[in-house]
Amino acid sequence: MSEKFSGREVDRYLTEMRAGNPEAMEKLYDCVSKPLFALCYGYFHNTQDSEDALQEAFLTIKSKIEMYNGTSGFNWVYTITKNICLKSLQRNGRTQSVDFTDSVSVGKYYSESSVDSPSAFDESGIIKLSRQVLNDGEYEILLFHAVYGMPFKEIASFLGRIEATVRWQYHNAITKVRKEYERRYGK
């Protein structure tokens, strides 16, 4: 995945897939596989099931590409992936609380297999601290913007919120984490 990606890239790759470009699927995968894997890992808490769900998601995306309407591509692939995870849990009779942004669990996988994952550059423990201090919504916004480089406008669109609200929540989250860091470790 590129360090920063935009919804326009995702939309472009999906549109190219729909038009029959065989390289577009690989570009899409490179663009969104890490945040989608993080989603899967939050449901399954293990690498094998997460990779299986991610693979199934991309197969579903490919098979249902004609249903893509040309906009909100990241939201579309994210929703497909989330639904696959939920169906898999139901199929296997497993239910658990869903914390799809658990950086500690996701970090275990990434630290073993990837140098550009959130935990790989979390030497200061800020991501782990953020997970402990922030509620799920705040952490999700922080992860999407600070770690995956998603613009506020696209986060707002994906979450169905107003951009100004997302910005405000992001800045509040940063303030919370900073205050907790200073409380724990001094200035």
Q: d(Cα 80, Cα 75) in Å, to the nearest integer?
A: 9
- Taking only the tens place, the pLDDT of each residue in 5-40 is 667 889 999 999 999 998 999 999 998 888 888 778
Residues 95 and 8 in one domain: yes
Residues 88 and 161 in one domain: no
Q: d(Cα 57, Cα 55) in Å, to the nearest integer?
A: 5
Query: Of 73, 100, 127, which closes a domain?
Result: 100
Q: d(Cα 36, Cα 57) in Å, to the nearest integer?
A: 9
Asked if residue 167 lies in contact with residue 152, where contact means CB atoms within 8 angstroms, the answer is yes
Residues 94 and 5 in one domain: yes
Residues 112 and 57 in one domain: no
How many H helices and E strands in the chain?
A: 9, 0
The average confidence (pLDDT) of the chain is: 78
- Highest mean predicted confidence (pLDDT) among 105-114, 144-153, 173-182: 173-182
Which structural domain range is residue 52 located in? 1-100
Please compute the mean of the pLDDT values over residues 85-110 and round it to a whole number. 55
Query: Of 85, 100, 115, which closes a domain?
Result: 100
Local confidence band at 79 (pLDDT 50, 70, 90 cut-offs): confident
Residues 87 and 116 in one domain: no
Residues 70 and 148 in one domain: no
Q: Which residues contact 84 (CB under 8 A, 6 or more apart)?
A: 53, 56, 57, 60
Asked if residue 136 lies in contact with residue 99, where contact means CB atoms within 8 angstroms, the answer is yes
Q: Which residues contact 33 (CB under 8 A, 6 or more apart)?
A: 1, 54
Instruction: Give me the pLDDT at residue 4, please.
Output: 55
Residues 38 and 13 in one domain: yes
- Taking only the tens place, the pLDDT of each residue in 113-144 is 333 344 434 455 777 788 788 887 888 888 77
Q: Is the pTM of this model over 0.75?
A: no
Q: Which residues contact 17 (CB under 8 A, 6 or more apart)?
A: 24, 25, 28, 61, 62, 65, 68
Residues 183 and 113 in one domain: yes
* Residue 68, domain CATH: 1.10.1740.10
